[in-house]
Structure 1
Amino acid sequence: MTPPCALPPGLATWLDTHAEALDRGTLDSDTLLPVLGDAGLFRIGVPAALGGAGGDVRDAVEAIAAVAERSLTAAFVFWGQRAFIEYLLQSPNHSLAERSLPSLLEARQAGATGLSNAMKFLSGIESLQIEACPQADCWQLNGGLHWVTNLRKAGFVVAAAVSRSDGQPPAIVALDSGWPGVQRSDDLDLVALRGSNTAALRIDQVALSDEHILHIDARAFLPSVRPAFLGLQCGMSIGLARAALRAAHESGAARHGLADDVANLENSLEQSVQALHQGLADGRFKTAAAPLFRLRIALADTAQHAVEQELMASGGRAYLQSHGAGFARRWREAAFVPIVTPSLSQLRAELSRHDAAQGLAA
């Protein structure tokens, strides 16, 4: 199994210092991405021939987990950037990847994964929110996305799925914030993770050429990138759970009779992480999404229970500002994990449909 990632000491200290400000949005949100980029995090799991540090997506999962141990806001931004990089790595549009990867790996450009809508579309949960009308020399796009992270105010590129007015299969495209008609809203008024540059997008008569198409067929592309999309997302739950369980130990879990409960959660977490790594390594999730959905649910549940154990171990100190700031932030972070798209309720509904179909097939 891929070992946990050790962050550069300077980055770890910076995240510890600014975690609260990132969560509350009192630090300039455009500050974060260059800090992560300067530490080389976006190169992890990217082939060396393309400017990366080598390894594979499992290494990136562990890097996101290491960041999430200190700040889920930073991990959320990391996930958005790294997911967009993964789309480029798997796109047949190699010229787009060659043009775009250097600035993304160096964090000179923000990359956003606007494919949450698309993943729900793939499962039949939601219709696509952007329509493309083919023109003589381009496509004209209209629509919007309600919630996208890492829309850095200094500039960004975002992946989006678009339906086609000509009846052809939906496509996956890359939209640049500098184009006329790409309009970013103010930051969404979140209760936590406020420094994540999360906003809505309006797409108004945007002209897009073929050179910015990540894949011409979304139904073929999305299943191939879904393991990375969800696997990288799982890194947030893994890191949060590790941090909370460590804090529970430090707060006296053994003295409060919680040692067995914490140990059981640690074992469950380790088993889920191992299963995630194995599935990403052997490719099984590309043809069997249900086990990946179950792992995403299990890891989110583990993170929730881990924070509860931290509370039980801390007792009343958790409600004292002088002692409980880190816990309070992790509590808010844990409340976000179940609703990250696809949410746990959406995944459970999809699993119910899958199990019913399997029963009929049997």
Structure 2
Amino acid sequence: MNAATTGAPAIAPEAGFAVWLDENAEAIDTSPQPAAAVLPQLGRAGLLRVGVPAALGGAGGTTVDAVESIAAVARHSLAAAFVFWGQRAFIEYLLQSENEALRTRWLPPLLAGEHAGATGLSNAMKYLSAIEPLQMNARPLDGTPTRFALNGALPWITNLRREGFVVAAAFDRSDGAPPAIFAVPHDAPGVRRSDDLDLIALRASNTAALELENVVLDDGWLIAADARAFLVRARPAFLGLQCGMSIGLARRALEAVRASSPAVRAALEDDATSAAQRLDVLTRRLYDGMTSGAFVAAPAASFEVRIGLAEVVADAVQLEVQACGGRGYLRTSGAEANSGVARRAREAAFVPIVTPSLVQLKNQLAAHRRSNAA
């Protein structure tokens, strides 16, 4: 499936941005130096506006179109697509929030790529699936539920841009009320960002740990007063946008196989055709589930798609490694180099561990099957 089949508005990166991605993909993956440039480039390319209503400053279209946009970027750089996912997921939270004032304030700089939005809800998604407890706490101040002291720590959040960010996080309530989701600005007193995590790849993704110590915010920063109900609605978009990274990476690897020599293509044709067919089937299942709303009531179906796409990525990149042969182990630059196959092998290794990881999703599916059997 390509952008044309979804009716998406301006999904593929414009030519100048695509060239910039290709020229900088290796550096974005291996060095933190380009970190400041990635988000503004996404903003200038207009990709952050895809799937956002025109009335709110977007380019129109649907969340499925936003998934295709992330896939288009992932063809060039998974690290850039990872940043795109974090930003677009936060934008999606604002679109689904009932807090109109928060949305009005933050959408313009987020859509322009002038300010970073980070999704610190990986812990919350695991909480929703009973994988782990919430790691953040909100304590009402002054005896009223309008001002809160926020405390806790999250060990891994992407798109914590040093130039400025706002992060979504879920908090247990010490007063017994349902957990809530807050947007936390980087410059609130008590917010501490760690140094960038020492990742083996995706190093320009502004990925760091976050600690909150008595951060005082009022209810104007609430994304959702009932975290569980909100997360159930938002999870299909959270996972769907995440799947865009897998779709794009798999497409790029299979394109490389198709562009190899006739002898290599003949040797790998059956496996490559099988992978391409599985990719198309899973992509259609993803888009159908997101469009129909089926994934809200049946999240296990979205877990199966996410697992299947990760498996296709692994197969597709291995096929590209085979097609490239020994050339993939050369560190030289230029047309005779590996053309990104080594980077895509590193990128593919990351796909299974993106939260929720494949292990966590498989455990959830096993629990779901046991429950159905009982």
Please tell me the TM-score bracket, short chain as reference: over 0.9
Aligned to 1:99: 105
Residue in 1 that maps onto 2:267: 257
Does residue 210 of structure 2 align to residue 201 of structure 1? yes
Cα pair 2:150 2:213 within 8 Å, conserved? yes
- Give the alignment of 1:57-76 within 5 angstroms: 57-76=63-82
SS in 1 for 2:338: helix
- Once structures 1 and 2 are overlaid, which stretch shifts more, 311-320 or 274-283? 311-320
Alignment partner, residue 269 of structure 1? 279
Query: Which residue of structure 1 aligns with residue 294 of structure 2?
Result: 284
2:251 corresponds in structure 1 to 242
Q: Does 1:338 align with 2:342?
A: no
* Amino acid across the alignment from 1:34: P
For residues 146-185 of structure 1, the aligned pairs below 5 Å read 146-185=155-194
Return the letter of the residue paired with 1:164: R
RMSD, aligned CA:
1.2
2:13 partner SS: coil
Determine what percentage of the aligned residue pairs are the same residue: 57
- 1:113-150 alpha-carbon deviations (Å, 9 max, x no partner): 00000000011111111111110151001111100000
DSSP 3-state at the match of 2:12 = coil
Q: Which amino acid aligns with 2:149?
A: Q
3-state SS, counterpart of residue 316 of structure 2: helix
Assess, with a 3 A threshold, how the Cα gap between structure 1 residues 3 and 249 changes in structure 2: closer, same or farther: farther
User: What does residue 124 of structure 1 align with?
Assistant: 130
Matched, 1:12 2:21: no
Partner of 1:108: 114
User: In terms of mean alpha carbon deviation, does 118-127 or 2-11 score higher?
Assistant: 2-11
State the TM-score, normalizing by the size of structure 1: 0.97
Residue 289 of structure 1 deviates from its aligned partner by: 0.2
Aligned partners of 1:159 and 1:172 also within 8 Å:
yes
Give yes or no for the alignment of 1:210 onto 2:219: yes
Residue 43 of structure 1 is matched in structure 2 by 49
Aligned length: 360
TM-score (norm. length: structure 2): 0.94
| Partner amino acid, structure 2, of 1:297 | I
In structure 2, stretches of 5+ residues that fail to align are none
Q: Do 1:245 and 1:307's aligned partners in 2 also have CA atoms closer than 8 Å? A: yes
Opposite residue 238 of structure 1, the aligned amino acid is I
Question: Counterpart of 2:154 in 1: which secondary structure?
Answer: strand
Secondary structure at 1:258's aligned position in 2? helix
